[in-house]
């Protein structure tokens, strides 16, 4: 069975390449644009490449077929003209997630966790209660308020974090200035790129669902972060 797997995958990849191509010609072939989307066009590549990356990532979870999968991956990547060790060959989660915990419906008091980036109803802009007996719309202002609180928490965590000395690696809190006692330069322990990509998700959520206040707040924080 294992031996017939690789040729079959190759024929699937060939079909995708022939019928979908670059994935940019027809809207139905394009990568979906979701609030959690965060990969660049280069990182996404073609649909055939995305298929190869996903299949190989799933199959590599089974350590017993490690060598076979490594070889298959190499061959499939060559088929889609992607270098084995290039950035585009790396599998990345295509859609980030953001979960609003314990969100309460103001009509029925039902309490649930909402994945704002991945939930299918929310993606379709249907903010409605999950309880089958209820189904009433959620109050958009309440949703936006909860998201604002999350952004403020993320922003505060960034500002309150410790600084670490580049030279002696000691952390310094409540410091004055940007230098350690040893003369080394202090830097944030939570590197800005990670923080910024988290804010970027909130920015996408705000744009996707037209939360104006959230969008402005995040845009301001992103500008602040970029100027540091």
**Positions in the binding site for Zn ion (CB under 5 A):** 105, 107-108, 110, 129, 131, 134, 165, 167-168, 180, 182, 184
Closest separation in Å from C-beta 105 to Zn ion: 3
Closest separation in Å from C-beta 64 to Zn ion: 45
Closest separation in Å from C-beta 83 to Zn ion: 32
Which is nearer to Zn ion, 6 or 170 (by Cβ)? Answer: 170
- Rounded CA-CA distance 91/18 in Å is 22
Closest separation in Å from C-beta 20 to Zn ion: 28
Which is nearer to Zn ion, 30 or 222 (by Cβ)? Answer: 222
Residue 158 has a CB neighbour count (10 Å cut-off) of 20
Which is nearer to Zn ion, 184 or 225 (by Cβ)? Answer: 184
Residue pointed to by tokens 């230098």:
179
Which is nearer to Zn ion, 16 or 214 (by Cβ)? Answer: 214
Which is nearer to Zn ion, 60 or 131 (by Cβ)? Answer: 131
Closest separation in Å from C-beta 94 to Zn ion: 19
Tokens of 212: 């104006």
């Amino acid at each position: 069975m294992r031996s017939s797997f690789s040729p079959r995958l190759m024929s699937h990849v060939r079909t995708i390449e022939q019928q979908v191509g670059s994935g940019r010609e027809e809207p139905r072939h394009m990568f979906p644009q979701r609030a959690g989307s965060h990969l660049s066009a280069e990182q996404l590549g073609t649909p055939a490449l995305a298929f190869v990356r996903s299949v190989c990532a799933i199959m590599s979870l089974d350590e017993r077929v490690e060598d076979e999968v490594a070889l298959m991956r190499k061959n499939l990547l060559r088929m889609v003209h992607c270098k084995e060790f290039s950035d585009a060959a790396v599998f990345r989660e295509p859609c980030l997630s953001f979960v609003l915990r314990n969100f309460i419906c103001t009509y029925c008091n039902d309490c649930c966790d909402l994945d704002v980036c991945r939930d299918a109803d929310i993606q379709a802009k249907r903010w409605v209660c999950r309880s089958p007996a209820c189904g009433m719309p959620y109050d958009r202002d309440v949703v936006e308020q909860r998201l604002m609180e999350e952004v403020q928490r993320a922003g505060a965590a960034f500002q309150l974090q410790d600084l670490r000395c580049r030279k002696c690696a000691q952390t310094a809190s409540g410091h004055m200035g940007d230098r350690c006692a040893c003369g080394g330069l202090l830097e944030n322990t939570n590197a800005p790129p990670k923080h910024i990509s988290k804010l970027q998700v909130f920015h996408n959520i705000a744009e996707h669902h037209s939360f104006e206040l959230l969008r402005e707040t995040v845009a301001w924080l992103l500008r602040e972060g970029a100027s540091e």
